[in-house]
Amino acid sequence: MLALGPLAFASPWLLLALLGLPALWWLMRVTPPAPRHQTFPAIGLLLGLKPAEQTPARTPWWLLALRFLLAGLVILALSQPLLNPQPAARQEGAFLIVIDNGWSAARNWQQTRSVAERLLTQAERENRTVYLLTTADPEGEDPGFEPLDVATARERLAVIEPRPWPPQHEDLASALREFPRDTDVVPYWLSDGVVSDNTDRGGIDSLGDRLDRLGDLTVYRPASERLPHLLQPPRETASHLKVAVQRLSEGYEESVALLVQDGEGRVLDRQPADFPPGSLETTITLELPLTLRNRVERLSLEGEAGANVVALSDERWRRRPVGLPLASDSERRQPLLSDSYYLTRALSPFTQVTEAPLARLLETPQALIALPDRILDESEAQQLDPWIRQGGLLLRFAGPRLAEAENPRLLPVELRQGGRTLGGTLTWDQPIALDDFPKDSPLAGLEVSEEVTVSSQVLARPDLGLNEKTWARLQDGTPLITAEQRGEGWLVLVHTSAGPAWSNLPLSGLYVELLRRLVAFSAGVSGEGDGPLPAWQVLDGFGRLQDPAPEVHPLPQEAGTAQIGPRQSPGYYGSDISRQALNLAPALTDAETLPSLGEYGTERSHETGPERPLLPWLLSAALGLALLDLLISLGMRGLLPIRPQLRRGTALLAFALLAGLTLSTDVQAQSEQKQQRALQASLETTLAYVQTGDPELDQSSRAGLVGLGQVLTQRTTIEPGPPMGVRPGEDELAFYPLLYWPVSEQQAPPDRAAERALQDYLDHGGTLLLDLGDGRGSRVDGDSRLQRLTSGIEIPRLVPVPEDHVLTRAFYLLQEFPGRYAGETLWVEETDETRHDGVATVIIGSHDWASAWAVDEGGRPLSAVIPGGERQREMAFRFGVNLVMYALTGNYKSDQVHVPFILERLGQ
C-alpha cells in the first residue's frame, strides 16, 4: 500500500500505467477529417478534376486533454485509492487485535468497535488472518489463540461487549506467553485509556511488553476528554444526599447532569453540575422530599453508559419515617436525663423523626414507632395492635416503670416481676457485656464491642419459645432483645433502657447501627445478617440491570470484602423485597488516566475518519467522460444532426458537459447518501423532521429530536438513532414512525410530489406532528398558515385531546403537554377503532416542542422555557416520550380498561 497523507492506493503498481500517457497522446492526436458534403450541378463538370489529397486533421487540445483525463481516471480507479486509509502494517503476519472491554470501555465502545472494523477491513484487503483477544472476559474462557478468517472475526466482534469489572491485563499477558513463537503477527491494542488500580498498572506494563515482543505494536486510545466518569454512592446528611462525581483528566471545562430515577425508570430529579478546568471532582446535593427520597433506586449520569456511572440505592440511603411519643415537660427541661433525647440523636442521621402524641403518630405513615420506658393503657394498646398487624414495627425499651408494672400490654415475652440490677436481688458481680448476635437474628453481623455493658435489665420468663424470640443476648445467656411477629408487623423489646441509666449502649456506635438495622427491618429488609445474599439483578457493562449469569457468586455477609469481577458483578443481591446494592465506583478509588505507552509502540487516537474507497467514484467519472468523448467525436464527424454553426462551439460544449459530469457525480453521491440514510432508518428507530429551508429552524428541529432521543434512551427501552431531516417528495417517509413539521410564515407550500408523499404517509399510519411554534394558540379551522401548507393534504377532523386519550398515559400520566410555551390547546385526530387501529395520524399544537427538547453536544438546554422553567422542560420531555411511545405502540394502553375484569376472572 502506498500512503500519501489522507490518501492511499491499495494497488499502487497500477500507477505505472501513467507512464504510458505520452504514447496515448501520439495515438490520439490525429483525428480523421469530417466528410464534406458538396452539391454538383452537372456530372460533366467533374471531368478533369484532380482529387484533393486527404490529410488527417489534428485533434483539438481540449479533446486531447479530455482523453488524457479519462485514461488517468481509469488508471487511478484500478489502483484502488482509499480516503483516510488505515496505516499499513510494516511487517508480515496475522493481525493480533487486543480489545480492552472492561468497565471503562463502555463510554467509547462505538469508537473502539469502529477501529476494530477498520482493522478487519484492512486484514481482508491484505488477505491476512486475525487473532481477536479481550482483556475482561470471565476466567476459563478460550483466550482465542486460533487464527480466524475475517468473516468469523466480524461475527465474534459483534458479540463482544464491555464488562462491568476491571480488565485483567496481567492474566492476558501470562496467557500470551503460551502464544506460538513461530507465528508472525502484527499486534494492535485497542486500549480504554484507564488504569483501574495500582495492580492494573503492572498488568498493563506486562501486556505492553509482551505485545511489543510479538511484533511492531500499535496502540489506539481515546482522547482525554472522552475518558469515563465515576459516580460514587450518595453520602447521607441530616436533610439531603451528597453525590460525588469524579473524572480522570483535567484541564478543560465540562458539564454533566445527574439523573435520579425510581424502580420503574421514572425520573424524580435532574441536577446539572460543572467541572472547572483544574478540578477532578464535583459534588451534587440532592434535596428531595421524603416521599421521593424513599423511592430513589438509581442514580446515573445523563448521556454516558457504563456501570461506573450508575449508583444503585437500597435501604441504607432511604430515610424512613420514625415516630416518638412526645416527651413530658420535665424530660424536655432536662434532655440529658430523657430517653427520648438519646433515641432522637441516634435516629436523626438516617430517619425522619417525628415527635407527637401517640394518637397523632398513628394518623400518618410510620415505618417504626419507638417507645422509651412507658406503660400503655388499654386504649393505646387497642390503637397500636392493628397498626402492628398491618406491617408496623413497635420498638419498646425497658426502664423502672416497665420493671414495676403488673401484666404490661404489648410485649413479645412475659416478664418477671421486678428488674435485674447491679447490686439488687437478681444481681451479678459486674456489668455484663453483649454476646455475638445469633446468626438467624436480623441483627447478625453487627460488630459487638467489649466496652458495651449492661448494668440493669428486665428478665423474660423462661418459655419453650423464648430462644426463637431472642435477637440478642448478654454473655451470661439472658435475652437482651426479644421480638415476636404479629400479623405483618413486629413487636420488639429491648430489655434495657433507651438512655444511659441502665447501660452504656446508648453512648456507643453500636446503638446507632442497631437502630439503623431495625429501621431497615421495619421496611421489609432483613439486613445483612441472613448469610450470603444470592445475586438478584446485576449490571452489565453499559449499566443496564439484567439477570445474573450462573458464575456470579452470592454476596458475602461482609459486603466490603467483595471483589468486583466476573464472580461478583455490581448490582442487587438478595431478593425483590430484601436486597443490598453492590456498586462499582467505590472499588475504583485508585483509577487514573493511562500514561503514555509510547515505549511499547506507536500511539494513535480513536478519532479518525472512516476508510472510504474511491474506486466507484472514479469509475463513474471515467464512464461519464467516455460518453462525453463519444458524443464529441460523433459530432465532429458529422454523424450527429448538428448544424455547422454549432460545431464551432464544440469546445465550449465539452467544458460544459465536463462541469455537468461533476454535477452528476454529486447526484450519484446524493443517491448513495439517500440509500445509506434509508438503510440506517430501516435498521434502527429514527425520528425525522421536515426540512423547511430555514437553516435556524431546521437546526432547532434537529437539536430538539437529539435531546428527545437522549431522554428516550435513558428512560425507556427505545434507543433511537440520530434524527434525520427529510424533504417530502424527494425522500422516502415510510421509514419514520414520527415526522415533526415546524411551521413558519416564510415556508413555501409543498409541491404536488410532496403533497402526495405526505398523504401516502398519513394513509399508511404515519404520525405527523405539526408545530406552529409561536405560543399564540392554534385554531385548526382558521389558521392561515395551516391552510396554506396543508391545502393539498386531506387533514382529518381534529378535536382537543380528550382527558382519557392514550397520549395522556402512554408512558407518563399527563394532563398538559407544554413545550417552550405552555397552556395552549393540543389537537388530535378524532379516531375510531376502524381507522389505523384507533391511532391518530395528525397532531397539531403551537408549543414549540423542539426548542424545549433541544440540547447542545454537552447535553445542555439551548432555549429557555416560558413560564415554568426546568419543571416545564421536564413535562415537555415527558410529552415527547408519550408521543413516541404512542407512535410506536399505538393504543395498547387503552386495553388497560379491561384489566379489572381480567383480574376478576383470574381470581375466580
How far is the first Cα of the chain from the last one, in angstroms, to the nearest whole number? 76
Q: Is the pLDDT of residue 237 over 50?
A: yes
Cell numbers describing residue 633: 467525436
Q: Side chain identity at 315, as an amino acid letter?
A: E
Contact 520, 531 (CB under 8 A): no
Cell numbers describing residue 903: 383480574
pTM summary value:
0.55
Contact 38, 590 (CB under 8 A): no
- DSSP for 587-631 reads GGTT-EEPPP-TTTEEEEES--PPPEE-HHHHHHHHHHHHHHHHH
User: What is the chain's mean pLDDT, rounded?
Assistant: 80
Q: What is the pLDDT at residue 647? A: 47
Q: Is the pLDDT of residue 82 over 80?
A: no
- Which residues share a beta bridge with 267? 261
What's the pLDDT tens digit per position in 246-294? 999 988 889 999 999 888 888 888 899 999 888 999 999 988 887 777 7
d(CA 421, CA 424): 5
- Which residues share a beta bridge with 254? 275
d(CA 346, CA 517): 12
d(CA 201, CA 191): 13
What's the pLDDT tens digit per position in 856-891? 877 788 887 877 788 888 999 999 999 998 888 876
What's the pLDDT tens digit per position in 100-141? 999 999 999 988 988 898 889 888 888 899 999 999 886 545
Among residues 252, 231, 207, 283, the alpha carbon closest in space to that of 103 is found at: 231
Q: Rounded to 5 degrees, what are φ and ψ at 512?
A: -65, -45
d(CA 133, CA 155): 13
d(CA 798, CA 434): 75
Q: Which residue matches cell numbers 416503670?
A: 401
d(CA 101, CA 168): 10
Q: Is the pLDDT of residue 190 over 90?
A: yes
Mean pLDDT of 560-577: 81
Contact 597, 213 (CB under 8 A): no
d(CA 205, CA 169): 9
What's the pLDDT tens digit per position in 124-133? 888 899 999 9
> What sign for the dihedral angle of Cα 469, 471, 477, 478?
negative
Q: What is the pLDDT at residue 811? A: 86
Q: What is the pLDDT at residue 144? A: 57
Among residues 458, 476, 391, 454, the alpha carbon closest in space to that of 419 is found at: 458
* Pick from 352-361, 501-510, 620-629: least confident: 620-629
d(CA 154, CA 506): 64
Mean pLDDT of 352-371: 88
Cis ω before 357 (30° cut-off from 0)? no
pLDDT band for position 645 (cuts 50, 70, 90)? very low
Residues 6 or more apart in contact with residue 829 via CB below 8 angstroms: 796, 797, 798, 840, 841, 842, 843
Q: Is the pLDDT of residue 900 over 70?
A: no
- According to DSSP, residue 895 is labeled G
Adjacency order of strands within the sheet including 601-605: 130-134, 94-99, 185-190, 217-221, 601-605
What's the pLDDT tens digit per position in 379-400? 899 999 999 998 899 999 998 8
Long-range contacts from 415-418, C-beta under 8 angstroms, 24+ separation:
415/458, 415/459, 415/460, 415/461, 416/458, 416/459, 416/460, 416/461
Portion of the chain with pLDDT greater than 70, in percent: 77
